Structure 1
């Protein structure tokens, strides 16, 4: 009886854990740009979008 209790766990291990959904950083405006108007990490590998005009056009409507 105790073995049937652990079978679902064994099945889950075989399937593997789901991969976390990654954010679409290139579509998300950088917080530094929102707050300060610029990002000091833009040229150093900041993964977020720094184009203010692209994202403002969506919110003006």
Structure 2
């Protein structure tokens, strides 16, 4: 599956201890980093940013 809002997964490897996923590299920040930064600053993320993320997720799930 190729979509601009989804990472391509090239390989999945399972061992008794862990599951490894080899995927393409996506530069930028993950949502956990953004949420932590907002918590440290004691400010919510911008409404436009939240709408952009929600639209990207909805597009990927469509």
Indicate the structure with greater strand content. 2
Quick check: TM above 0.5?
A: no
TM range (shorter): under 0.3
TM-score by length of 1: 0.24
The TM-score with structure 2 as length reference comes to: 0.23
Point out the structure with max Rg over C-alpha. Answer: 1
The structure that is helix-richer by fraction is: 1
